[in-house]
């Protein structure tokens, strides 16, 4: 009876697990790079522009997990729009998710929706996005909310 087969199989299994762990660590590192070089500069540029409209914005980051942008109603402390980029737990590639939380009026509850982040861009290309593309995505989603809000009767 050949016992080397199961031993080799066991060794290969543990080697594969090491590769998966390495891929997870690389994905976290890539996400942090994306936040540092794309998301944070895009959010900072947006914050400067929003000041022109007397709209406050704040951002925060949970390293290796998410980056969060919050836009408030004009001249208010009440949040209106959240744009959250996050990495699924145990991700082995930079396949990000986007969660938006929106409030159509100061008195309405937040509505949440999660979708894949820019579906037509493969995970390997996410790091190649520029801050302008990300800022444009935020503006497009915020604009959609503003238009929806404008036609809602209260």
pLDDT digits (tens, 9 = 90+) for 100-112: 999 988 888 999 9
- CB 151 within 8 Å of CB 105: no
Q: What pLDDT is stored for residue 3 in this prediction? A: 60
Comparing CA positions, the residue from 42, 88, 90 lying closest to residue 66 is 88
Torsion of CA 47, 116, 21, 27, to 10 degrees: -30
Asked whether residue 73 carries a pLDDT value surpassing 70, the answer given is: yes
Average pLDDT of the segment spanning 18-45: 92
Tokens of 33: 């790079």
DSSP H/E element including 61: strand 57-62
Distance in angstroms (rounded) separating the CA atoms of residues 48 and 38: 16
Give the global pTM. Answer: 0.87
Element (H, E) at 66: strand 66-72
Mean pLDDT over the full length of the chain: 89
Q: Reply yes or no on whether the pLDDT at 80 is more than 80.
A: yes
């Amino acid at each position: 009876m050949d016992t080397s087969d199961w031993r080799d199989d066991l060794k290969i299994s543990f080697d594969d697990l090491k590769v998966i762990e390495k891929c997870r660590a690389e994905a976290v590192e890539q996400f942090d790079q994306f936040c540092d070089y794309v998301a944070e500069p895009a959010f900072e540029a947006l914050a400067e522009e929003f000041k022109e409209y007397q709209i406050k914005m704040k951002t925060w980051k949970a390293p290796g997990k998410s980056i969060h942008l919050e836009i408030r109603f004009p001249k208010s402390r009440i949040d209106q729009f959240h744009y959250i980029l996050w990495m699924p737990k145990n991700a082995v590639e930079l396949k990000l998710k986007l969660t938006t939380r929106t409030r159509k009026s100061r008195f309405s509850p937040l509505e949440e929706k999660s979708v894949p982040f820019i579906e037509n861009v493969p995970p390997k290309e996410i790091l190649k996005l520029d801050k302008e593309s990300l800022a444009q995505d935020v503006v497009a989603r915020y604009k959609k909310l503003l238009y929806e809000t404008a036609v809602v009767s209260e």
